[in-house]
């Protein structure tokens, strides 16, 4: 099978935004509690975690949804939560995502699944789970099936994301696949457990190597063994294909008559959390966008390699995929969207690094700017610089500014060793960017006061600090422009 060239893959990546996917499965709340450990408890030989911040995000099938929305695919989501605060939190988190039509049913007496991870200096100390593993009551299951059947008609591919918590009990999974088949909708399944008869007739099933080994009872140390195991399941349960993820060994796509082994795309592996969800989401979006199974699998392999190179449950965005296929050269790699910057900032904080932020027009880079940026970088471990877009500069400085367009200003800043990322924003102030990135240090020049720094109150509210940097006398952009214009 011939490899696809970069142009084919980039066109395929752009097509993902036109996908529409239904996700049905187990939803859970992933909580991350970060802090520092500086002493051992006098009550027991355990570390004391001094908590600095907490983050909550949708997990399980909800992470598949997160990945689909990151690809800009239209997504319908059907799941169940408990009648508790965690269920309400998940409803708000899912509802706050773009391009999602959520149908989150509430089961009285059911505890919403919560996984809480306690982390210090990038190291997991412990994970605490709270959950109820039980099939849905008959009446609620029937309602879920009715809603899902209606959603199937409005979407192109159905994903069953089974985390073994009870939403996809055998009778429900079988009924969902039968409904999809009756209207010609392909089904992609991320399986759990040993009995895969519930997934019979699925078009693609996406186990990892361990799950495939448990389901077949085979030793899967070779590619030939994986192919044999996959074909045994294809013959037994009528699957169209098996896409087996193999961690550092890549993945294998097996049908009744073909096989394809994709090498791992990850340069480094930091965290495999949620990588399977990313693979499922990209594969399903690719199929929904009309891509061939082979191209969709190739993109899912690239996406999986991207997210395992990030710390924590991450997503792969179209720009990430494009850059992986055809990397941006040199300093321009540092010019990113605010969302990418926020994800990078979170990864840096998880490694115990302080994230700094400063902003301005940076119209003509001069010694005053260099002096400011050197102080910014000295105050943190990683520095993100926000710059006003051209329209924003014109509103703030007048019709004759900027002297240089935003792309040129961003490229010059990105070329500096003191700058780690550059974000362009169109608003007059960076407040929206600040609230997304949540820096630990906000730095501005000493011509400001703490009360006049935009975002100072917000940064201090999440435990950050505001720093006023010394200015280099006689150097300002306005004065430089005036001198140049004579």
Please, what's the largest Cα pairwise distance for the chain? 82
Token digits of residue 420: 């780690």
CA distances 373 to 104, 370, 444, Å, are 47, 5, 10
| Residue 43 CB-density burial (10 A; 0-12 exposed, 13-18 middle, 19+ buried) | exposed
- Say if residue 464 is exposed, middle or buried (CB neighbours under 10 Å; 0-12, 13-18, 19+): buried
SS3 content of the chain, % helix, strand, coil (to 5): 40, 25, 35
As a residue count, the chain comes to 486
Whether the CB-CB separation of 79 and 104 falls below 8 Å is answered with: yes
Whole-number Å distance between alpha carbons of 179 and 322: 35
Question: Distance between CA 81 and CA 109 in Å, rounded?
Answer: 10
For 470, other C-beta atoms within 10 Å of its C-beta total 10
Q: What angle do CA 335, 74, 174 make, to 5 degrees?
A: 130
Alpha carbon 274 to chain centroid, angstroms = 9
Helix or strand holding residue 14 (H, E): helix 6-15
* Cβ contact 27:60 at 8 Å: yes
Residue 256 three-state SS:
coil
Closest CA to 64 of 275, 298, 265: 275
CA distance 278 to 63: 8
DSSP secondary structure of 268-317: S-S--TTHHHHHHHHHHHHHHTT--HHHHHHHHHHHHHHHTTSSSS----
Contact 95, 53 (CB under 8 A): no
Chain-centroid distance of CA 339 in Å reads 10
Q: 276 with 307: CB under 8 angstroms?
A: no
Choose the catalytic residue: 203, 277, 363, 420: 277
Task: For residue 277, indicate whether it is catalytic.
Answer: yes
Name the residues annotated as catalytic: 277
């Amino acid at each position: 099978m011939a490899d696809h060239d970069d142009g084919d893959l980039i066109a395929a990546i752009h097509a993902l935004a036109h996908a529409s996917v239904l996700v049905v499965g187990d939803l859970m709340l992933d909580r991350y509690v970060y802090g520092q450990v500086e002493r051992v408890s006098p009550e027991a030989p355990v570390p004391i975690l001094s908590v600095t911040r907490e983050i909550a995000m949708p997990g399980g099938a909800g992470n598949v949804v997160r990945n689909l929305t990151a690809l800009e695919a239209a997504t319908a989501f059907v799941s169940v939560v408990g009648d508790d605060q965690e269920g309400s939190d998940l409803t708000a988190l899912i509802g706050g995502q773009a391009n999602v039509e959520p149908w989150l049913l509430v089961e009285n007496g059911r505890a919403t699944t919560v996984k809480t991870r306690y982390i210090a200096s990038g190291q997991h100390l412990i994970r605490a789970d709270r959950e109820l593993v039980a099939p849905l009551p008959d009446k609620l299951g029937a309602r879920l099936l009715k809603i899902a059947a209606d959603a199937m008609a409005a979407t192109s591919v159905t994903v069953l994301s089974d985390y073994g918590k009870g939403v996809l009990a055998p009778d429900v999974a079988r009924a969902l696949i039968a409904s999809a088949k009756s209207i010609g909708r392909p089904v992609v399944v991320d399986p759990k457990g040993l009995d895969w008869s519930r997934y019979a007739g699925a078009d693609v099933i996406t186990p990892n190597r361990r799950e495939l080994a448990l389901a077949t009872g085979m030793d899967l140390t070779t590619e030939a063994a994986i192919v044999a195991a996959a074909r045994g399941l294809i013959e037994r349960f009528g699957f169209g294909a098996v896409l087996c993820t193999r961690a550092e060994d890549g993945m294998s796509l097996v049908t009744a008559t073909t096989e394809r082994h994709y090498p791992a795309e990850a340069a480094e592996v930091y965290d495999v959390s949620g990588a399977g969800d990313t693979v499922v989401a990209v594969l399903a979006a690719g199929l929904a966008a009309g891509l061939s199974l082979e191209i969709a699998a190739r993109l899912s392999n690239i996406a999986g390699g991207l997210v395992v190179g990030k710390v924590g449950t991450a997503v792969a965005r179209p720009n990430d995929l494009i850059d992986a296929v055809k990397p941006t050269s040199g300093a321009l790699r540092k010019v990113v969207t605010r969302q990418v910057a926020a994800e990078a900032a979170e990864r840096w904080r998880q490694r115990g690094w302080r994230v700094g932020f400063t902003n301005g027009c940076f119209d003509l880079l001069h010694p005053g700017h260099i002096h400011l940026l050197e102080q910014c970088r000295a105050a943190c471990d990683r520095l993100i610089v926000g710059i006003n877009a051209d329209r924003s500069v014109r509103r703030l400085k007048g019709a004759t500014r900027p002297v240089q367009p935003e792309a040129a200003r961003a490229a010059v800043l990105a070329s500096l060793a003191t700058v780690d990322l550059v974000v362009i924003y169109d608003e007059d102030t960076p407040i929206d960017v600040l609230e997304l990135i949540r820096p630990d240090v906000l730095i501005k020049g000493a011509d400001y006061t703490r009360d006049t720094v935009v975002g100072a109150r917000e940064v201090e509210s999440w435990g950050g600090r505001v720093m006023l940097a010394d200015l280099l006398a006689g150097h300002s952009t306005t004065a430089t422009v005036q001198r140049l214009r004579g």
